[in-house]
Structure 1
Amino acid sequence: MKRSPLKFLGIEVDALNIPQLNGLIAKSIQQQKKWIIANHNLHSLYIYHHDSAMRAFYDKADYIHVDGMPLVLIGKMRGYSIEREHRVTYADWVWSLMEQAASKGWRIFYLGSKPGVAQQGADILREKYPGLKIACAHGYIDVDRDSTENQAVINAINAFQPHVLMVGMSMPRQERWIIDNLEHLQTNAILPSGACMDYVAGVVPTPPRWMGRMGLEWSYRLFSEPKRLWKRYLVQPWFVGKLLIQEYRGIQLSPIHRKPTPGTPLLAKQRGRG
């Protein structure tokens, strides 16, 4: 499909629902393309305006779906044709994606989560979708592109020859990893997927889906993990409000020029999920 992105708050997004996203993956496989299918929410919007590496990632992305009701609402306020169904989070999408993968014979590789969690999630998915071809590796590695651990992960991915590579190591770590290793990855669709497998495995409680549809999922996540998420949900949105006011006043939005934060390869300091 031809891309016609919606532009607001200094970013670009595509109004895509789950069937359309599955269709893009099918197209990337049929045409033997390597596409990054990224996503934006309020958290990524904040990082985008503060981190040059994140901006480089989105410049490379082929499609960017919306993962946050606030962006749907802002898009509607700006006059775009974007609806509730265009808010796609992995807690909803993963099931349809895996069903498609099982029926079409797509191979899935998932990189991320704590040791053992991804495998637990993969076992659940195989049981639910017989015939699903899925392999995984945990995300608690030294992500330096030349490290032994990183090279071993890339070799494992390429040996499996996945049609879909899901990278769930939290923002912006997963996006930086994709950009750093993009040219060496042999796959079609590349999906930065946050805590997707943590939800599947049940190690992080999945918010009731009605909360997602109402744009209240953030409150459930904040209540579940206040220590980790308080800044994301209580501080960063104020910056987004500032961007919205500036845009309505016709002020040109410029990213804050700040060097990318160095990676933290030590196991104890890496979250490995969104």
Structure 2
Amino acid sequence: MSRRPEERVQVLGGSMDLVRPEEVFHFVAGKIAARESAVVANHNLHSLYLIRKDQKIAEFFATSDLIEVDSVPLIFWARIVGRASRRFHRCTYLDWRDAFWERAIREDWKVFFVGGAPGVGEKAVARIQADWPGARIRTHHGYFDVAPGSAENQAVVDAINDYRPDIVLVGMGMPRQEVWVLDNQAKLGPCVTFTVGGAFDYEAGVQRPSPRWMGQVGMEWLFRLVVDPRRLFTRYCVEPWHLMGPALRDVRRALARQVSSRRVSDAARAEYVRASDLARSDSLGGR
């Protein structure tokens, strides 16, 4: 995919691409056809908080090839501050699941999933293949020593490379999955790596996803908070306050763009009036 300049925007201190799922798949298909590696990340309010606190997470997003937006509130905020964001720019595994597996089967993509507790990946694969017979998937649980150079980590990298996948889905939760991809992507053969959080936990039925309508209206966070308040209270009720500084900067930039646009419009209008007056004077002088 040839990224248009207006697709990548700066919002709440982070860079992200305003792309639809079909544009993501077009990008992925191009990388696979060229046998090139790439990383597809996703931003939400939690990751925007983390890039301010963790240098490795900041490096992960700085080096990612495509950054989806995984947050309707973030999309709404981007639109408020003058970015051309729409609801269809939300890209998450659960939103593009069906289109992804349909494309994977049609293109004969091989997929490797890393993450989840032992047994979760296998259960998820069984459910996926029940819906999409012919899907080519191999898995490895995420409960291993991820330290660079550890024997367990090397074994996982070797298993991925032996399989030679086109797509690697990493679902270890944020920020563990991002750090793992940052540390290991260069060790993998040519493939496109996605960070997908708890996607396969949902596939396996060990976690309950929110109704999709709640995601579309930006209330998925509330559903997840009610289901797991102890783990998610800080993420949803405390961390967003740390983004007030970037939010105020977004507002100042939006106001500056409006002032600049108004000045350009006023200058263009003045130039038009001046040109019209000159034309009228020339016409009168020629009589």
TM-score by length of 1: 0.88
Does 2:6 correspond to 1:2?
no
Query: Any idea what SS the aligned residue of 1:53 has?
Result: helix
Paired residue for 1:158?
A: 161
Does 2:224 correspond to 1:221?
yes
Which runs of 5 or more structure 2 residues have no equivalent in the other structure? 254-287
Greater Rg, structure 1 or structure 2? 2
Paired residue for 1:261?
A: none
Match of 2:45 among 28, 32, 42: 42
Q: Give per-residue Cα distances to partners, 1:11-46, cap 9 Å, x unaligned.
A: 111111111111111111111110101110000000
Match of 2:186 among 183, 188, 206: 183
Match of 2:29 among 26, 29, 32: 26
Query: Relative contact order (alpha carbons < 8 A, sep ≥ 6): 1 or 2 greater?
Result: 1
Aligned positions of 1:66-215 closer than 5 A? 66-215=69-218
* Identity across matched positions, percent: 38
8 A Cα contact 2:81 2:251, kept in partner: no
Q: Give per-residue Cα distances to partners, 1:165-221, cap 9 Å, x unaligned.
A: 010011111111011112111132110110010111111101000000000000111
Query: Any idea what SS the aligned residue of 1:186 has?
Result: coil
- Greater than 3 Å deviation, 4+ residue runs: none
- Whichever structure has more helix as a proportion of its residues is 2
TM-score by length of 2: 0.84
Shift of 1:95: 2.4
Tell me the distance in 2 between the aligned counterparts of 1:187 and 1:24. 14
Which runs of 5 or more structure 1 residues have no equivalent in the other structure? 251-274
Tell me the distance in 1 between the aligned counterparts of 2:27 and 2:250. 31
Tell me the distance in 1 between the aligned counterparts of 2:48 and 2:113. 24
Shift of 1:239: 1.3
8 A Cα contact 1:94 1:196, kept in partner: no
Tell me the distance in 1 between the aligned counterparts of 2:243 and 2:217. 19
Shift of 1:9: 2.0
8 A Cα contact 2:81 2:250, kept in partner: no
8 A Cα contact 1:164 1:187, kept in partner: no
Count of aligned pairs: 250
Shift of 1:249: 4.2
